[in-house]
Chain A
Amino acid sequence: GESVGLHLPTLSVQEGDNSIINCAYSNSASDYFIWYKQESGKGPQFIIDIRSNMDKRQGQRVTVLLNKTVKHLSLQIAATQPGDSAVYFCAENIHQTGANNLFFGTGTRLTVIP
């Protein structure tokens, strides 16, 4: 899994299998979390978000789980497809004086093997 400050971890999965990407966040006061997908040479794209008053949220083929006790976030991708190959980032929303800023983890590179 990823955590702020570590070099890019990688995950390889067979096409059709489920993928789980993990993220450890840093600030216990963070109240909003987002998963982004970034393809090579492009900007990150929103996948799914979750607020701190929830522990699970589902989208199309994706599920985000939030464990506030251990400050852990995961992204589950069902039936992984070659088009899912990308770098995945988690981001936490941290309230700072006069601002709300997103802070990103290092990312996890997902490679789908056909």
Chain B
Amino acid sequence: DGGITQSPKYLFRKEGQNVTLSCEQNLNHDAMYWYRQDPGQGLRLIYYSQIVNDFQKGDIAEGYSVSREKKESFPLTVTSAQKNPTAFYLCASSLGTGGTEAFFGQGTRLTVV
């Protein structure tokens, strides 16, 4: 079955550590996105990538980094520079041509301990 998979579902990080969230899709989508969701809030765009080996900052990119070495994969690293990393992180993909829906993964809940 085609879909988009995020792992892990839950992640705990100590302060000062970098962590990487995985996102894989087998939908043959060109575009991939990372969003952050805080309780009672909407989705805010962190980074997006329209094609392999290219990505752009979204509205809240500070403290995050990404890579897009393969079409299927768009990992997000939450660095120690992110001062408030506890949140629900959602990855999505789309055809990228505009006017098409984005498909979401099931999310990763990151907690700083």
Contacts and interface: CB of A to CB of B under 8 A. Distances in A.
Interface of A: 2, 4, 7-8, 31-32, 34, 36, 41-46, 49, 51, 89, 91, 93, 95, 98-107
A81 B96 CA distance: 34
Nearest to B58: A101
Contact of B107 (A42, A91, A100, A101): A42
Residue with the greatest number of chain B CB neighbours at <10 A, chosen from A36, A44, A45: A44
Contacts, number: 68
Given A89-B43, A106-B42, A49 B104 contact: no
Interface string B45-56: 100101000001
Interface of B: 6, 31, 33, 35, 40-43, 45, 48, 50, 56, 58, 90, 92, 94, 96-107, 109
B42 A93 contact: no
B8 to A, nearest CB: 14
Nearest to A5: B42
Nearest to A32: B99
B41 A8 contact: yes
A105 B101 contact: no
Given A4-B42, A100-B98, A41 B103 contact: no
Nearest to B51: A98
- Interface of A (DSSP majority class): strand
Given A7-B40, A42-B107, A99 B101 contact: no
A43 B106 contact: yes
Given A32-B99, A42-B106, A93-B98, A99 B90 contact: no
A100 B40 contact: no
B46 to A, nearest CB: 12
B98 A43 contact: no
